[in-house]
Structure 1
Amino acid sequence: MSRHKQEFTKNYRPLLKKKAKNSFLNNYGKFGLRALNSGYINYSQIEIIKSLCLKFVKDYNNNSNILGKRYIVWLHVYPSIFITSKGSEARIGGGKGSPKLRVARVSAGQVLIEFSLDSDAGAKKLLNLISVRLPIKVCLIRSFDF
């Protein structure tokens, strides 16, 4: 994911109590992962989700070509918030710390990722692998009009 220029990089971390209003249904793929509670997901966790989904889409589609030799996974989260921290030996004062990591804000009910698989068993196995690696609870959703 390419890093875009941001004017203010030292943001506050607001509480995440709101539910998703727009992005709670599948738009593109047959299956999707929906967040059940709100929280923050960092850049490395998003990359793990993406790599696991690409691997499973390639393995469980019985070597069939989806949209011509491309296996498509749609990500709906992007780490656009910087989290700052000061050093452990820093004295009091001196301003806010420097940006250390980037996170994505995830609200309850938001679809994190969409993908297309031929089998339901592969989607459930993928859900088990991903849910262990995330700090929030996720569930599997399926679009019936695909």
Structure 2
Amino acid sequence: MFLQPKRSKYKKVKKGKLSRFEYRSNSLKFGTIGLKAAESGIISARHIESARQAITRKIKRKGKLWLRVFPNLPITSKPTEVRMGKGKGSVSHWAVRVSSGAVLFELCGITTNTAISAFKTGGAKLPIKTLIFI
């Protein structure tokens, strides 16, 4: 189905804050071209999967694609038409906090033009602005 952890220490977590810039995972590690987040935000596992599928389809399964983010943040929601209070809702889906500058996807083994085209298509599936990073 979608990406999610096999198990986690705590079932629900607090919202927390989004950091403004990414200083650790802001450079290429595996591939020759990458897709980078231009702004910070929360990306769900569904978004990541749809972007991955779009990129894979564009490159016609040639080359190698790396996912540099993993959704390990449980997002909770209460059912519709439920009154306030009575605790936090159950986990509805999984997501990842992304800071601006973080590398999301990396590619190698294909031409640059094909990779740029694939990343444009994949970046359109994500809820944040992205940059193609060579």
TM-score by length of 2: 0.88
Structure 1: state its 5+ residue gaps: 62-70
Alignment partner, residue 102 of structure 1: 94
Partners of 2:43 and 2:35 lie apart in 1 by: 14
Contact preservation (8 Å) 2:59, 2:115: no
The answer to whether the 8 Å contact 1:31/1:117 transfers is no
The 8 Å contact of residues 45 and 95 in structure 2, kept in 1 or not, is answered as yes
Between the aligned residues of both structures, percent identity stands at: 30
Q: Measured at CA, do residues 91 and 2 of structure 1 come closer, stay the same or move farther in structure 2, by a change above 3 Å?
A: closer
CA distance in 1, matches of 2:122, 2:55: 9
Structure 1 counterpart of 2:43? 41
**Offset at 1:17?**
3.2
Q: Provide Cα deviations, 1:32-66, integer angstroms capped at 9, x if missing partner.
A: 0010110111111111222223233336x5xxxxx
Corresponding residue for residue 106 of structure 2: 114
Deviation (angstroms), 1:94:
0.7
Query: Which has the higher Rg, Structure 1 or Structure 2?
Result: 1
Secondary structure, in 3 states, of the residue corresponding to 2:60? helix
Deviation at 1:6, TM superposition (A): 0.9
Q: Tell whether 2:11 aligns with 1:9.
A: yes
Deviation at 1:2, TM superposition (A): 5.8
Tell me the number of residue pairs that the alignment of Structure 1 and Structure 2 aligns.
Answer: 132
- The alpha-carbon deviation at position 73 of structure 1 amounts to 1.2
Q: Secondary structure of 1:52's match?
A: helix
In terms of mean alpha carbon deviation, does 46-55 or 77-86 score higher? 46-55
The Cα RMSD (Å) is 1.8
Q: Does the CA contact (< 8 Å) of 2:68 and 2:104 recur in 1?
A: yes
Distance 1:118 1:73, change over 3 A: closer
